[in-house]
Amino acid sequence: MRKPASAIAVHTILGLYTLLALFPIVLVIMNSFKAKRAIFNTPLQPPMPWNFDPIGYTKVFGDGAVGLYYMNSIIVTVGTIVLTLLFGAMAAWALTEYKFRWNTVLALYLSIGIMVPIRLGSVSIIQIVADLNLINTLTALVLVYTAQNLPLAIFILSEFIAQIPKDLREAGRCDGLTEYHIFFYIVLPLLRPAMATVAVFTMIPVWNDLWFPLLLAPTGGKQTITLGVQQFLGQYITDWNAVLAALSTAIVPVLVLYVIFSRQLIRGLTSGAVK
Amino acid sequence: MSRGTYLRLLAVFLAPALIIYSTFSIYPLISTIINSLYLRLPDGSFLFNGLGNFATLLFDETWSGPFWNALRNNFYFFVIHMVVQNPIGLVLAALLSLPRLKLRATYRTLIFMPTMLSVVVIGFSWQLILSPLWGIAKMFLQFIGLGFLFGPWLGEESTALLTISLISVWQFVGIPMILIYTALLAIPEELIDAATVDGLNQFQAFVWVKLPLIWPTIGLVSVLTFVNNFNAFDLIYAMKGALAGPNFSADIMGTLFYRTFFGNQLQLGDPSMGSTIATMMFVVILIGVMLYLFLIQRRMQRYSF
Amino acid sequence: MAEVRIQKLKKSFGPVEVLKDIDLVVEDGSFVVLVGPSGCGKSTLLRSIAGLEPVSSGTMTIGGRQVNDLPPAKREIAMVFQSYALYPHMNVAANMGFGLRFAGTPRAEIDARVNEAARILQLEPLLKRKPRELSGGQRQRVAIGRAIVRKPQVFLFDEPLSNLDAALRINTRVEIAKLHKLLKATIVYVTHDQVEAMTLADKIVVMNSGRIEQQGKPLDLYYKPANLFVAGFIGSPAMNFLSGTVGDGCLDLGAAGKLALPSRSSVRSGDRLTLGVRPEHLRLGGSGGLVLNATVDLIERLGETGFAHLRLATGHVVIAEVRGEPSFRTGDNAIISLDPEQVHLFGADGNRLA
């Protein structure tokens, strides 16, 4: 019963907004491949043989730091995900399976972390990290991000664990498995979809974060790519080629990953926030 | 199993998470609050000052000016998000949830793309686009006949915060969109059929049937916006640096905190006052969340289908 | 006149034809039940009558008016949905009056109609409650009340009893039948349960794969099913089917034996036939041309009646209804005799032979 007119209106609105969302990104990437003159005179033209000039990229990749920064970001992100999932699953399992008196208290304790932004404690975090001799290390970042993401991960995983049929766990016990066996060989594999969701949900904010790398690991080759780009931009601010290339270098890998994982990501966001 | 084994298991499974969480999340928070009660003396030692720091922050000339400015800017930032980001998110979600929409997944993926990117990238890209040197924004406005509106918005006191707020909206509209979209999907199709049989058109069905059923989600989106806005820092720092100019017109609590704690070319770093500002941020966010929980959450009902 | 007339209705979803050449007349004031297995198209047909689904070709009139291009609200229909589709955020009274508000009906009129419907359905004490405070049966009645309030030409019911438990289902079935008589309404009702269909309908329409297999009075379909599908669908437990080849005036069932065929001119030697006979038309014991040998596989007792599962020499199992105390047990040999008046013959194409 849909009249064609209203379908056109809907698609127009959605289409226009999509253009608005994509336009700046496309513009930056396109122009990063053009010569300086072409950038200014014909900004809307895509890179063509006559205005092609990857000079910006040579500067970006020139001092070799970019590869290092990417590695740092990957280490931090993967490290955070691994710790968050492992410790989060363990804690979620303990909370769900072993009911004890302090359950609700713990749940409330953890929910503070969800509502209150961890950044507010930065003053002390810096102090602690310094005391532990972890300034300018990736370890510090991993620990802080893990702390930040644990509460939500625990809640999401708890929900999933609660849905695992009790029979499976009981059967394991009857078969004489230790609790550790049950957890690692029965529960964890069943949690895989939930863990994938949490992983994707955690990945983006950690990768894109500027605050903690700025505070805890600003120098010494331990910068993440986000911080690295920020510093690079500050340095090359008038060199348009370099700047556009740097931005594109930061954009493209994330976009590619996003397009591949978009469905899991959206599922992760929705299940997380509803809690 | 025995009580001893039980407790041991519990401890083993809970310990790592609790240790990391408490060390890096809870303890720093409490420590910051305690720090804010101390004053740092010129010789480096600390003196207990009770709520003195807060009094200084709120009322002392050197401090209260920037503080109230930052707080006001933060509210402005928040209002822009509530008024622009969330309604747009709502409309997009409503359109995406229409039945039999072609290309739905494509639109959803593409519109959500800016949220994926880091603020550094976003901030700088927009800076280029809005820059008078490059002239792209000017070109577009001229194209639609609004060329006279163009100006160096990012560089002017009166428009800098608004511009940055809108860029932030542009980046994050995907989040309310997805949350509301998911809530809309949970509404059973039969309910809309019943409304159609009752004589409502699509728009009326949305306003009278769908909207009331997603109030809890809209509430959630609002509180999330509040918390995120008052915690914001990245975009402004990326675009304007710690000084959040021009002339502090884009200064919000986050940048004020950063600047105070670490210092800059205008002042020395001050951990006490930094802690104080952080604690104030905590208090503001807490008040907002409490207000939401007690005033709004209680009245809202989640409907299960 | 609230008659629904459907002619040559076709509906396709892309390349798939879901409704094929439907011709159906729902007389004014009659209770027509669309019944069939999942996926047969009965709900699609109902929704097409409602206007919730567009049709590809054919005509449909309600009360003499052609409604093909009209939206649901203008067709003067009301629908009761399978899961009731009550608006969770409104109370019962508001739910029932919702549609009228949008039609611009004056407040007093809305209140009058809602109260009247509430009276008929005994919903008066519940008017201020919200749907989540009601039981399944109560929500059902509110959904029906919402339909009554609209004073439609035709009531459309989409499997309204499927979400109720067994006891409630029987009660509500009776209530719906009474409602039909009280309101003298034209009803089109969809269900997959043939017992509901048999007890409620003035006319049953059996559907399969988008096509109408047979339509008519319930007992007509019971005694004279037009094809194998209808024969196997109507009646519980289902009809027994025995296939064989015609030879010497008998139906040769292979190892199971031979059955003497009543003289029918349309059968010839060599034809493949299926013989159908209902469990209630089989007897144990007896003799004559219409008997089979079998061993007792299983006896299901339901009190006064029961069902015996009897295995033929071919391994095929036949179900017979038995009454009282049976004089045999599992493993015994038994003779089954068929009532010659109640035997149905179907040709190789599945259709009934004269």
What pLDDT, in 10s, does the model give residues A130-182? 888 888 888 899 999 999 999 988 888 888 888 777 787 788 778 877 778 88
Pick the CATH number of C4-233 from 3.40.50.300, 3.30.70.20, 1.10.150.130, 3.40.50.280: 3.40.50.300
Side-chain half-sphere CA neighbours of A178 within 13 A: 6
How far apart (Å, rounded) are the C-alpha atoms in residues C88 and B305? 8
DSSP code of residue B154: G
Identify the pLDDT of residue B304: 58
- Residues of chain B with pLDDT > 70, as a percent, come to 94
Nearest CA in chain B to C98: B198
State the average pLDDT over residues C154-166: 91
A39 to chain C nearest CA, in Å?
A: 48
Residue C333: predicted pLDDT: 87
pLDDT at A117: 80
Question: Is the CB of B193 inside 8 Å of chain C's CB atoms?
Answer: yes
Whether the Cβ atoms of residue C168 and residue C10 lie closer than 8 Å to each other: no
- C317-323 β-sheet, strand order: C282-284, C333-338, C291-301, C305-311, C317-323
A-interface mutation test, from B27, B30, B124, B289, most A Cβ less than 10 A away: B124
**Contact between residue A75 and residue A223 where contact means Cβ atoms under 8 Å apart:** no
Task: Evaluate whether B92 touches A17 at the Cβ level (below 8 Å).
Answer: yes
Question: What's the CA gap between C233 and C210, in Å, rounded?
Answer: 16
Query: What are the E-state strand segments in chain C?
Result: 4-13, 16-26, 31-35, 57-62, 65-66, 77-80, 154-158, 186-191, 203-208, 211-216, 240-247, 250-252, 258-260, 272-277, 282-284, 291-301, 305-311, 317-323, 333-338, 343-346
The greatest distance separating any two alpha carbons of chain A, rounded to the nearest whole angstrom, comes to 76
pLDDT at A267: 66
Question: Which architecture does CATH list for C240-346?
Answer: Beta Barrel (2.40)
Give tens-digit pLDDT for B105-147: 888 888 888 888 888 888 888 888 888 777 777 777 777 777 6
Give the count of beta carbons closer than 10 Å to the beta carbon of residue A35.
18
Neighbours of chain B (3+ CB pairs under 8 A): A, C
Q: Is B200 in contact with C77 (Cβ distance < 8 A)? A: no
Give the per-residue pLDDT at C219: 93
Q: Distance from CA of residue B117 to its chain's centroid?
A: 16
Look-up of token digits 């949690």: A191
Q: How confident is the model at residue C95 (pLDDT cuts 50, 70, 90)?
A: very high
Structure tokens at B6: 């039980």
- Runs of H (alpha helix) within B97-214: 104-111, 113-116, 119-130, 136-143, 157-172, 174-185, 189-197, 202-205, 211-213
Highest mean pLDDT among A238-247, C224-233, C294-303: C224-233
Q: Confidence class of residue B265 from pLDDT cuts 50, 70 and 90? A: low
DSSP string, B286-297: HHHHHHIIIIII
Out of B102, B111, B119, whose CB is closest to A208?
A: B119
Identify which of B191, B199, B304 has the shortest CB distance to residue C103.
B199
CB count within 10 Å of CB B287 equals: 11
Q: Rounded CA gap, A184 and A90, in Å?
A: 9
Whether C323 shows a pLDDT value over 90: the answer reads no
pLDDT score, position A2: 46
Lowest mean pLDDT among A256-265, B224-233, C96-105, C107-116: A256-265
Least confident of A42-46, A172-176, C18-22, C163-167: A42-46
Contact of A105 with chain C, judged by CB distance below 8 Å, is answered with: no
pLDDT over 70 at C1, yes or no: no
Reference B96, options A263, A14, A1; nearest CA is: A14
Partners of residue A1 in chain C, C-beta under 8 Å: 51-52, 54, 71
CA atoms of A198 and A267, how far apart (whole Å):
9
**Whether A114 contacts A155, CB under 8 Å:** yes
**Lookup: tokens for A209:** 């974060």
ipTM: 0.79
B123–A contact, CB cutoff 8 A? no
User: Whose CA is closest to A125, among C330, B20, B296, C163?
Assistant: B20
Answer whether residue B82 shows pLDDT above 90: yes
Q: Tell me the mean pLDDT per 10 residues along chain A, length 275.
A: 66 87 84 77 72 75 77 90 92 81 81 81 86 86 92 85 79 79 82 80 83 85 83 78 79 79 66 53
Per the CB < 8 Å rule, is C85 touching B194?
Answer: yes
Interface check B213 vs C, CB under 8 A:
yes
Mean pLDDT score of chain B: 83
Residues of C in contact with B186 (CB under 8 A): none
Alpha carbons C20 and C210: distance in angstroms, whole number:
5
Most confident of A60-64, A258-262, B51-55, C2-6: C2-6
The two tokens of residue C261 are: 């065929």
For residue C292, name the pLDDT band (cuts at 50, 70, 90): confident
For residues C145 and A189, what is the distance between their CA atoms, to the nearest angstrom?
50
Residue B6 has pLDDT above 90, yes or no: no
Mean predicted confidence (pLDDT) in B82-107 = 87
Contact A28, B125 (CB under 8 A): yes
- Judged by CB atoms closer than 8 Å, whether chains meet at B6 and A143 is answered as no
Characterize the bridge pairing of strands C291-301 and C333-338.
Answer: antiparallel
Tell me the pLDDT band of C50, cut-offs 50, 70 and 90: very high
CA-based radius of gyration for chain C: 25
Cα distance between residue A254 and residue A243, in whole Å: 18
C317 vs B296 pLDDT, higher one? C317
The C-alpha of A1 sits at a distance from chain C's nearest C-alpha, in angstroms, of 6
- In this structure, are residues A114 and B37 in contact, taking their beta carbons and an 8 Å threshold? no
CA distance C184 to chain B (A): 22
Spell out the domain ranges in chain C. Answer: 4-233, 240-346
Residue of B nearest to C150 (CA): B198
By C-alpha distance, the chain A residue nearest B21 is A147
State which H helix or E strand residue B40 sits in. strand B38-40
Average of per-residue pLDDT values in chain C: 88
